[in-house]
Amino acid sequence: MQRGLDSETKKQLEEEEKKIISEEHWYLDLPELKEKECFIIEEQSFLLCEDLLYGRMSFRGFNPEVEKLMLQMNAKNKVEEVEGEAVELDVSDEEMARRYETLVGTIGKKFAKKRDRANYEEDENGHIKPTVKVKKMFLKPQD
Amino acid sequence: MAEAVGVVAESLAGDRARAARTVLDQVVLPGEELLLPEQEDAEGPGGAGERPLRLNAGSRSRGRVVCGPGLRRYGDRLLVTKCGRLRHKEPGGGSGGGVYWVDSQQKRYVPVKGDHVIGIVTAKSGDIFKVDVGGSEPASLSYLAFEGATKRNRPNVQVGDLIYGQFVVANKDMEPEMVCIDSCGRASGMGVIGQDGLLFKVTLGLIRKLLAPDCEILQELGKLYPLEIVFGMNGRIWVKAKTIQQTLILANILEACEHMTANQRKQIFSRLAES
């Protein structure tokens, strides 16, 4: 005795339900409305219209941070003109090169063994440079 | 008087659309329609039957026109919604058709996204502050929207503090939301405004006039004595100087300079400079 429906009949019923739903057409039967190309954009902000300055201001050194900000912000408006600004260096390139040259010596001295520490000499300016020591090779005795 | 009224009534009743180009810097009234330049060409010499041959008939070479505050899109035309002078700005980058807007005057502020405003903290509820910005609703400001704020490191904001921030959400359907950091996460001048000083209210048009790049009033003020000013686009100005008297003088000048002519202003400044 079978209670309930057969698996086949169940499937058929489901398919019929699906058909009914899909046939209901979730879309309205209206003609397609073509959206006109709109060349007008609506904006409610005054920022686009007028070039306004930054809202915080300080005069004659009352608030130095705000004065720095003023320069930054108002320069941002004219950023397109001044794009190729070189970054101000605190230390020049030459000095950096010199430092690295002597740095090798100073750090190298730290890891050198006691015997090799004698190789490190003090230069004219007090910079520590490693002097290259010629390694003793085996001399073959002459006949 | 009667004649003038009759003329105005005729022009309003006829409602012929005028070309935007011809009305620049003139007073426009709400309800007027304005034609953009390209349409005006097409409709102009049509009657004579001699239309200029357009090689690019399909595409419109004007690009996008932006209609700013005081104007609305009405089909292909612009509809004026506020009374004031019509202004136009040419496109800088070469693309687009420029910006049209109406230079109007009002005291009531409507929150707009991207505007920097001064607000007063009115309530502190859980994780957000309620900030009064002069609009129809108080704006909400999350405590995480400050530079360097974390869940454990809360900003030091009390009820009654002045906040300088910008809107991230501001439309007619939702409560406005503001923040005190920019898109990179830096404060860039926003946040709690310091101690002392005086907050007062002016019209919105005056703020825009004072913040114009070539404003003489501010340059002259800056020469008087050391001071600090913060302008909010919602019509609020906060000033601070070394003494209370100087602060009050500043406030009076800024409120009055809207209705003064340039000569009167110069007289007042010269008198102040002497004393």
Per-domain residue ranges for chain A? 43-85
Neighbours of B112 (CB within 10 A): 20
Instruction: Write down the ipTM of this complex.
Output: 0.75
Under a CB-based contact definition with an 8 Å cutoff, are residues B13 and B30 in contact?
Answer: no
Average pLDDT in the B232-247 region?
94
Domain ranges of chain B: 18-39+63-103, 115-192, 198-274
pLDDT score, position B133: 95
B132 has pLDDT over 90: yes
Q: Could A60 and B222 be called an inter-chain contact, meaning their C-beta atoms sit closer than 8 Å?
A: yes
Of B87, B230, B242, the CB nearest to A56: B230
Confidence class for position B142, pLDDT limits 50, 70, 90: very high
Q: B91: Cβ–Cβ under 8 A, 6 or more apart, which residues?
A: B63, B97, B98, B99
Which of B175 and A33 is assigned the larger pLDDT?
A: B175
- The pLDDT of residue B104: 92
Residue B49 carries which side chain, given as an amino acid letter?
G
Whether residue A15 has pLDDT greater than 60: yes
> Which of A42, A55, A58 lies closest to B116 in CB terms?
A55
B123 band by pLDDT with thresholds 50, 70 and 90: very high
B86 pLDDT above the threshold of 60 = yes
Compute the C-alpha angle B174/B116/B226, nearest 5°.
155
Cα–Cα distance, A11 to B259 (Å, whole number): 83
B13 pLDDT tier (thresholds 50, 70, 90): very low
Give residue B230's pLDDT. 95
Q: Is the per-residue pLDDT at A111 higher than 60?
A: yes
Which amino acid makes up residue B236? R
**Neighbour-count burial for A23-34, b at 16+ CB within 10 Å, e otherwise:** eeeeeeeeeeee
Chain A with chain B: Cβ pairs closer than 8 A: 120
pLDDT at residue B28, rounded to an integer: 92
Contacts of B251 (CB under 8 A, 6+ apart): B198, B200, B237, B239
Mean pLDDT along residues B219-225: 88
SS3 content of chain A, % helix, strand, coil (to 5): 40, 10, 55
**Residue B172 touches chain A, beta carbons under 8 Å:** no
Note the pLDDT of residue A113: 83
Q: Name the one residue in this structure whose structure tokens are 């190309």.
A: A37
Q: Do B116 and A50 touch (CB under 8 A)?
A: no
Task: Write out the two tokens for A39.
Answer: 């060349």
- CATH class, domain B198-274, is alpha beta
- Inter-chain CB proximity B67 and A73 less than 8 Å: no
Whether B107 and B235 have beta carbons less than 8 Å apart is answered as yes
The reported pLDDT for the residue numbered A123 is 54
Q: Looking at residue B22, what is its pLDDT?
A: 85
Tell me if chain A has a CB within 8 Å of the CB of B233: yes
Search chain B and give the residue with CA nearest A80.
B93
Q: Do domains B18-39+63-103 and B198-274 have the same CATH topology?
A: no
What fold is seen in the domain B18-39+63-103?
Answer: OB fold (Dihydrolipoamide Acetyltransferase, E2P) (2.40.50)
- pTM for this predicted structure: 0.69
Task: Domain B115-192: state its class.
Answer: mainly beta
Could you identify the residue written with the tokens 């003038």?
B4
> What is residue B36's predicted lDDT score, i.e. its pLDDT?
82
Query: For the residues of B6-58, what is the DSSP string, one character each?
Result: HHHHHHHHH-PPEEGGGGTTSEE-TT-EEE-HHHHHHHSTTTTT-PPP-TT-S
Q: How far apart are CA B258 and CA B203, in angstroms?
A: 9
A48-68, pLDDT tens digit by residue? 888 888 999 999 999 999 999
pLDDT value for A36: 66
Mean pLDDT of B211-215: 89
**Residue numbers in A near B225 (CB within 8 A):** 60
